[in-house]
Amino acid sequence: MTDITHHTPDALLAAYAAGTLPQPFALVVAAHISLCLKCRAAFEAHQAIGGIVLEGFDAVEISPDLKTNVLSLLDAPDQESDVYARTGVYPGPVMQALKGKPPRWRRLGGGVKQNILSADESGSVRLLYIPPGQAVPDHTHGGLELTLVLQGSFSDETGRFDVGDLEVADEDLDHTPIADYGAPCICLAATDAPLKFNSVLPRVLQPLFRI
Ligand SMILES: [Zn+2]
């Protein structure tokens, strides 16, 4: 695998370890951690710190359910390696979201395809398939967007993103990601708000495709 140069920001790792990250972003961070030893180590450090903080609250009563759940997790050490396992292009957490089946692509035009994994008021997360040299429609963001490269690579105004790289974009970034030549680019992308496209046609199509 190529070296990962764009990592998960520490604040997102901390939020993920604390369980406060909305599900669409949690899936992208989980997938990045499964590919990136550096961020996995940082995430596990956050988890350990969280555990120490919890130990400090010895007056807090723990429900029997929580105790059982924690104990059953401790009894299943193999689960962790399953979570990080990769099936072809797709990291373990993405395979779980796909329920072990191949993606069901829907065409967006220009050869670009998507498979929405989940979409609700907390945001949406999808797989995107972008043919070499093809641009994802130009858009600005109403909120946060995380994009993780699973196959191929793309470039935009901020740099080049290879397999395992995570791009963090917010409402200030007006960018045009273009898939590099080579293998088609497959990405996992999460947003907490609908994307606002700058050209008229995609804006008209937006409600249809829930972009
Ligand atoms: Zn990383």
User: What's the CATH code of the domain at 130?
Assistant: 2.60.120.10
Tens-digit pLDDT string for the chain (211 aa):
558 999 999 999 999 999 999 999 999 999 999 999 999 999 999 998 876 665 655 555 556 666 565 555 555 544 445 667 777 899 999 999 999 999 999 998 889 999 999 988 778 899 999 999 998 755 555 678 899 999 999 998 889 999 999 999 887 777 788 999 999 999 999 988 655 544 454 555 555 555 5
Give me ligand 1 centre to Cα 191, in Å.
19
Complete DSSP assignment for 141-173: -SS-EEEEEEES-EEETTEEE-TT-EEEE-TT-
Per the DSSP assignment, residues forming a β-bridge with 109 are 112
Q: How far is residue 138's CA from residue 93's CA, in Å, rounded to a whole number?
A: 28
Give me ligand 1 centre to Cα 166, in Å.
8
Give me ligand 1 centre to Cα 165, in Å.
7
Q: How far is residue 70's CA from residue 66's CA, in Å, rounded to a whole number?
A: 6
Structurally, the chain folds into a number of domains equal to 1
Give me ligand 1 centre to Cα 174, in Å.
24
Per the DSSP assignment, residues forming a β-bridge with 107 are 113
Q: Name the residue range of residue 105's domain.
A: 1-211
Give me ligand 1 centre to Cα 156, in Å.
19
User: What is the model's pLDDT at position 133?
Assistant: 94
User: What is the model's pLDDT at position 70?
Assistant: 57
User: What is the model's pLDDT at position 198?
Assistant: 47
CB proximity list for 176: less than 8 A, separation 6 or greater? 135, 136, 138, 156, 157
Give me ligand 1 centre to Cα 173, in Å.
21
197 three-state secondary structure: strand
Give me ligand 1 centre to Cα 49, in Å.
19
